[in-house]
Structures are given as structure tokens and as C-alpha cells.
Amino acid sequence: MNKRKREEEEEEEGIRMGTDIVWQTPANPPHPHDYIFRNGIRYVKPYYFEFIAHVKNRWAGKTIVDLFAQEFKGRPYEYYVSAVKCGRIQVDGERVPVSYIVKSSQKISHFVHRHEPPVMACEVPILQKELDVLTVCKPASVPVHPCGQYRKNTVVGILQAEHGLAPVFPVHRLDRLVSGLLILARNASKADIFRQQIEGGLVRKKYIARVVGEFPKDELVVDANIDYNAREGRSTAEVRDSAKGKAASTKFTRISSNGAQSIVLCEPITGRTHQIRVHLKHSGHPIANDMLYISDETVNRSSKGSSADRSACTSATALTSSIEEKVVNDCEEKSNVGFSIDPMCTNCPNLAPKGYDTDEEGLWLHCIQYSGPDWTYECPYPDWAKLTQTI
């Protein structure tokens, strides 16, 4: 009897909360007040969000609770039971019992208290602003566009929230931990022109990296297939005539060296996942703080006690460092506020979702130039590109 009473109280609470909560969708734009700045980290205030999915054929025939427990393992089984009971999980816009069997193509809504992963509290400096093109210096740790758990903590989200720039269309991708030049078209037709030029092999790309050891003085071209393992989230280099992986080629030129480390110009001819990182490792000179590809032996030879994210953040705002410092400080003062705790949320009372490290480092890999048939865009070098001489 007591158990039944508790269940009724949970359902009543769910109905009450459902009427009080304002649910966001991808149509809701980010705003400056959505962010909290603490100790050099940019957080997003947790917010209520509707995730929508449609039942795949392999999901059909499962109970609504079993479907979520088996396919979305980030939360415990008991959470999904409670979420269905109080209407946080619905089918075709209707509440259903926990025993409900889903059918193919049905619309499933999951209303969650969304916590986005944190990123470094860096500005996104605008380098060039034209009628149909925008270039920025992307800080390390910030994703380019909404993906996975990131939505507002992205370059696209920050540009919209803090500069009122929308819509923008990223022309090329930069991995989340990579910094440097990012080109964004300001309309779909310009984005399509860039896309055609990239696919036609008419665009040249230049990066710089800080690598382990004394890189060869002569130009080095690495031709090795890239085989990406999605499950492990990493790539391997394979011999060129191997059946594994996709053909890939990168040209490297040493810029400077102090014997222990080198600054290298990287020009990828093809564009494969982690191509520069894997080819540098293949050459025997991995990026000096790349924990995914560096060996235990070379970790000791790389610089320690320096956060690449923070280095990238500093360099990304080299042109406006004094202004940014004031902006970030002002933001920290204004954002020193709390947020609503959701009683059903598995991440509350923390700001960041479980499993995310606020001390994560960015890579010493920075995009400095993109050039096409009749255009060139550039980005300043980062501070970590200045090597100190060893004794």
C-alpha cells in the first residue's frame, strides 16, 4: 500500500513539474546568460531539453523502459522507470505505461535536464568578417558545431550567443582539441561553393604542431593509409599498399627545434580522421602532448606542467588579450549564480555531466591557413609555437 502511494505521489509530482518546466528544443537559440564562468572554465547552465528519436526496426517489440535501458546506458534502469511514470519519456506525444511495447517509426520524446560538458573559458575571436564569410580563431576544447552532448558550448553556439551571428555554416572541420583558423560561410550558397572547392582538391591547408624530438631538416612526406577504429576512437597508419584504411598523404617541414622538441609545418594532402596526428606518430615524432598517440617513453620527453588548452586559449586571443581578460573577468562576476536542481536528474547538483574532466588538455596542433583558387585566410600562431632553447 505504501509503495503504491509513493508511486502515485511520483506521478503527481511529474505532472506538476511538467506544467512548470519550460522545455527547449534545437529551435531555441543560446543567450549570454546561459553560461557560467568559474576558474577559467565555461559551463552551460543546465536546462530542460526535448530529445526526439524515432523507433528503429531493431527497437520495435521492446518495452519502452527496456529500449532506453539497453540503447542509452548513461542512466540507471530505475531512472527510466521513473521517467516513464512521470511523463518525462513519451511516445507520439502521449504518456504510456512502463510495460508499453514500442512500434517501428513511432516518435519517442525524452525530456531531460541537460548538462553540457565544460570547455575552456576562451573568447572566440573574430579574425575577418565579410559579407558572406566569417573567420574565427577556434579555441582548443570547444567543438565546432552541436554534436553529442554539446549544443551551446560550441563555436556556433557561442558566436550566436555572444555576437548575434546566425546562421553560420562551418566550411571545414577542426577536431574539438585542435585550435586555429575556422572558416564559416554566412549563407548556404557560399558554403556550397567552399564545399565544391574542397571536394575538388582546390583547397590547401596548413597547420603547425609541436612535436617530440628533433624533426628532420629536410621536407618529409608521409604516405601511409589511415585506418580509423570508431569503437576505440583512434586511427592507425598502415603501409600504402595495405588493404586496410584509406590512402592518406601529409607533407611536413621543420620550422624550428631546440633538440628536445620541434615546431613543424603540416600540410595534409588528403583529409582523414586524425591524419596529421597519426602521420606524425608514424614519423617517430608525435605531438608532444597527444596522450592518445604518444608512447610512455615519449611522454617523459614532452613538456609537463603546461595546459595546452590554456596555451591555445591564450594564443587564440593574441590580438585581443587585454579585452578578453576584462570580458572573462566580468563574465565570472556576473555568472556567479546558481541553477535549478532537478530532483530526477542523475547529474545534479554538479554543473558538468558525469565523466567529464575539467582539466582536459588541448592539442599542440593549430590551423594557420586555408587557401583556395582566389582566396586565403590565416590565423595567428599560438604561444606554444615559441620554443625555449635547451641548455
- Which residue numbers are catalytic? 175
Residue 265 to residue 2: CA distance in whole angstroms: 69
Q: Give yes or no for a contact between 140 and 124, defined as CB atoms under 8 angstroms apart.
A: no
Residue 339 to residue 104: CA distance in whole angstroms: 38
Q: Give yes or no for a contact between 162 and 125, defined as CB atoms under 8 angstroms apart.
A: no
Torsion of CA 321, 326, 332, 334, to 10 degrees: -140
Three cell numbers, residue 9: 505521489
CA atoms 312, 188, 152, 293: torsion sign: negative
For residue 265, count CB atoms less than 10 angstroms from its CB and return exposed for 0-12, middle for 13-18, buried for 19 or more.
middle
Q: Which parts of the chain fold into alpha helices (H)? A: 2-20, 64-71, 77-85, 155-163, 188-199, 275-282, 296-299, 308-316, 321-334
Query: Three-state SS for 384?
Result: helix
CA atoms 146, 150, 152, 156: torsion sign: negative
Query: Three-state SS for 26?
Result: coil
Residue 118 to residue 183: CA distance in whole angstroms: 23
Number of C-beta neighbours around residue 325 at 10 A: 12
Three cell numbers, residue 190: 557560399
Question: What are the C-alpha distances in Å from 208 to residues 91, 170, 224, 347?
Answer: 50, 21, 20, 38
Strand partners of residue 169: 185
